Structure 1
Amino acid sequence: MSLSPEIPQYARDLMDFYSPPRQDAWGVTIFYERVQPEADLEAVALRQYQYFVGESSEESSPSLISWMREWKLIYQRTPDLEPNIRLELDAATRVAGLDYDDRIANMLDYDYDETGQDREPTILAAGFNSPEVKDFQIYNLGDGEVMEGLLAIARRRNGETLTLAFLDD
């Protein structure tokens, strides 16, 4: 989803790699949006999550409540940390008590180096590990029963947001 007339190359590369966001979708998707630099990042993330699961923000649907059951911030990058989306996703899952390590690698198409260690695709790192990223958060998603996943959102200094969401059942 893009609410901006022009999408920068780093976001286009990610959208091409993971495909554009679709409502009622499962799997991985990328959102790009330009917002005010000080906009409420959680509100942006929540709006994108609602779109991804097929809920209109105008609806006050009981099903939205079930999709929101597991929504919570589980990780926030601090200024002293070296950006590394791969390590941060892994850390966030452990903090939340989730067992996603293998599924994250499979869903995000991690590459493997010569020693067999997995690493995030270069395009994923370009979008989320950039020095221009000033805010980075990870949210737990799901209903606690059938659907589970993560949503990672990064905001650059100029207000560009990049969101990676993935859902699994």
Structure 2
Amino acid sequence: MTSSTPLPPAVTALTTLYGAPSQAGFGSAVFYDAIEPGSDLEPIALRYYQYFVGSLWEQYGEAAWMSPWKQIYVRPTGIQPDIVAELKAIADSAAVNYVPILLLEETDDYAKAQQALATVFNHPQVTDLRVYAIGDGAAMSGLLLAGSRSTGETTILVSLLD
């Protein structure tokens, strides 16, 4: 599930930090797609989540992967976008421990990650931004960020760790 659409430089920078599209089912990956503007973002996010998990989806079963799935944040209309502050403000108990991991806080890439996330997800054309809790219902947990622009350009960042 890779798009033939060339990656914008901002998405390339995000991919350099978080990884190219994969079916690894572990770690992180960035997906980029052009969808119909105004489409419901949740089924698209779910499709990329399932793709990222790959063969493990069938191995552990859909019920396991969907048990932690829930939207934990949606950017309200009219706020000043600040993806880093928005992520840090998430209070969901299932997700709060994964925000520092997603932000690469304990790495030398923390400043680069903040910049890359801001460039992609704070863009003025991002009209829909959502964050989901993900995992296998047991050892693995993480977050999925999905942002869609008014043009339909959509970026999905999946981060899943044990």
TM class by shorter-chain length?
0.7 to 0.9
1:100 aligned residue: 98
Question: AA paired with 1:85?
Answer: I
* SS of aligned partner of 2:12: helix
**Range that drifts further, 124-133 or 78-87:** 78-87
Gaps of 5+ in 2: none
- Count of residues in Structure 1 that have an aligned counterpart in Structure 2: 159
Whole-Å separation in 2 of the counterparts to 1:144 and 1:62: 10
Match of 2:85 among 75, 78, 87: 87
| Pairing 1:53-92 to 2, within 5 Å after superposition | 53-55=53-55, 63-92=61-90
Structure 1 residues 47, 61: closer, same or farther in 2, change over 3 A? same
Structure 1 residues 101, 71: closer, same or farther in 2, change over 3 A? closer
**Larger C-alpha radius of gyration, 1 or 2?**
1
Structure 1 residues 47, 101: closer, same or farther in 2, change over 3 A? closer
Give the C-alpha shift of residue 72 in structure 1: 0.7
Contact 2:70 2:133 in 1 (8 A): yes
Whole-Å separation in 2 of the counterparts to 1:155 and 1:48: 14
Gaps of 5+ in 1: 112-118
Whole-Å separation in 2 of the counterparts to 1:102 and 1:62: 27
Whole-Å separation in 1 of the counterparts to 2:39 and 2:23: 24
* TM-score for both structures, normalised by structure 2: 0.86
Question: AA paired with 2:50?
Answer: Q
Whole-Å separation in 2 of the counterparts to 1:103 and 1:61: 26
